Amino acid sequence: MTLQAYFSDLGDLGAHVQAPIGAFERVVKLSREVRAHGDRVFFVGNGGSAAIASHMTTDWLKNGKFAALCFNDGSQITCLANDLGYEQSFANPINAHGRRGDLLFAISSSGKSPNILAAAHAANQIGMHTVTLSGFRSDNPLRGMGDYNFYVPDMSYGYVEIAHLTILHAILDTIIEGDQ
Domain boundaries, the chain: 20-179
Do 112 and 141 contact (CB within 8 A), yes or no?
yes
Digitized pLDDT (tens) for each residue of the chain, 180 residues in all: 899 998 898 888 889 999 999 999 999 999 999 999 999 999 999 999 999 999 999 999 999 999 999 999 999 999 999 999 999 999 999 999 999 999 999 999 999 999 999 999 999 999 999 999 999 999 999 999 999 999 999 999 999 999 999 999 999 999 999 998
Assign residue 87 a region: left if phi > 0, alpha if psi is -120 to 50, beta otherwise? alpha
Structural fold of domain 20-179: Rossmann fold (3.40.50)
- The dihedral sign for the CA sequence 150, 117, 87, 128: positive
